[in-house]
Amino acid sequence: MIKDRRLSISLTVTLSIPVVLLLALAAASDSLTVAKADSIPVQEGALAPAGLAYEINPDTHGNLWISDDGANEIWQIHPATRVVTTYSGLDNASDARMDPAGMVWWTNAGNTDLGRLSPGTSTAITWTLPGTGALWGTTIDDAGRVWTTDFAYGVTYRFTPGTAEVCTYQIPDAGASSYLSAQGADIWLGDGWNNRILKLDPSANLFTIWQLTSGAFPRGMSSEANGNLWWADEELSMLARLEPDISRMTAYPLPVGTTPEMIALSQGKVWYTEIVSGTVGVLDPAVASGTSSTLVKTTAPVTPACSNLGAGTSSSVPSSAHTLAWTPTAYNQLVNSGGWAVYQMPSNAYPWGIAVSNEDVWIVDQGRQKLAHPFASVNLYLPLIVR
């Protein structure tokens, strides 16, 4: 059973591959799958069979970090070597990501602890955050401070690794967010309970709040270098962009599926997962038609409560390594028009996490416990060549 986490281009692809090139590629790769014109080649690798994997986050070295809160594991995957290092015994590991110092941070999903994994020594330290009950997402700001959020009690936390200081920020009007996204020193949150997007400026101790349509439920979020925010709205069946300087939101309804969850940005495109139809897609907002509106913006001051959590609780972490075996397959293309490309994953797929690393797309299929790597078989990555 998949648990409820809420508590309760046109891609026009110009791809001309001569037959002789395909033959050469086939000779060079023992895992080549030459897909039909209306499908894409994919490589898949098996995750923990009895697990329940969610997020996937790349680090600056090209490694992928996968959180499996069903197996209580964090996986580090080196895509080039296919070597997997599994760190075990990490209670309900969620949204693991590496900081600039090489430490990996996670929360024990739906519980109270923030954890730090030292991959070099296979040791961990956990801290119980004050007044929390249901932590989930993580992000790291430009100063290396770790942020997490509680989607039950409506608070977000800032943790400073060097001092173990934690500051608690109460979200206005009992709001709650399961994920959050850093943009410099500022933090974006999606408040599904009150149908809002919030931005926290910790230097000014100020929330800026944009009110969304009734029923909106922002899930995965990611910000662009220009300051715009993208998110997937799992209740309104759309992707959306906010231009905060002018409070303009542009909505892009999905052409297939109803429940987008996570997104990843790459070269002006927005990749996303959709869990009901079991699809993965990409939006090119330079081509696609969206509907724009001006949102009501308000502000709310906040006074953080800060304390020192001390040394935390240390433990050793069992680790093991294996080589991930890739299986070639293909996903059929359902849509390739109007700025959208959508691909159907196999039956029983439940794609959640998605990431782009070095322009490669990676998907965590929780339903089948697979890691999917589209476009990998012929070593051609469509995000680089879409027009």
Q: Please state the domain count of the chain.
A: 1
In DSSP notation, 84-114 reads EEEEE--TTEEEEEE-TTS-EEEEETTSSEE
List the CATH number of the domain containing 291: 2.130.10.10
**What phi and psi, each to the nearest 5 degrees, are found at residue 204?**
-100, -5
What is the spatial distance between Cα 66 and Cα 94, in angstroms, rounded to a whole number?
A: 9
Does residue 287 form part of some domain? yes
Does residue 370 form part of some domain? yes
- Tell which residue, 60, 76, 110, 70, has the closest CA to residue 90: 70
Domain span at residue 140?
19-332+349-384
Does residue 200 form part of some domain? yes
Distance of CA 127 to the CA centre of its chain: 23
Quickly tell me which residue has 């080649």 as its tokens.
41
Rounded mean pLDDT, 104-114: 94
Does residue 11 form part of some domain? no
67 pairs with which residues across the strands? 74
Q: Tell me: the pLDDT tens digits for 167-222?
A: 999 999 988 899 999 999 999 999 999 999 999 999 999 999 999 999 999 999 99
Q: Tell me: the pLDDT tens digits for 306-365?
A: 999 999 999 999 999 999 999 999 999 999 999 999 999 999 999 999 999 988 999 999
**pTM of the predicted structure, to 2 decimals:** 0.88
Q: Are 262 and 136 in contact (CB under 8 A)?
A: no
pLDDT band at 37 (very low <50, low <70, confident <90, very high): low
Decide the pairing of beta strands 260-266 and 297-301: unpaired
- Tell which residue, 167, 128, 123, 127, has the closest CA to residue 145: 167
Q: Are 230 and 263 in contact (CB under 8 A)?
A: yes
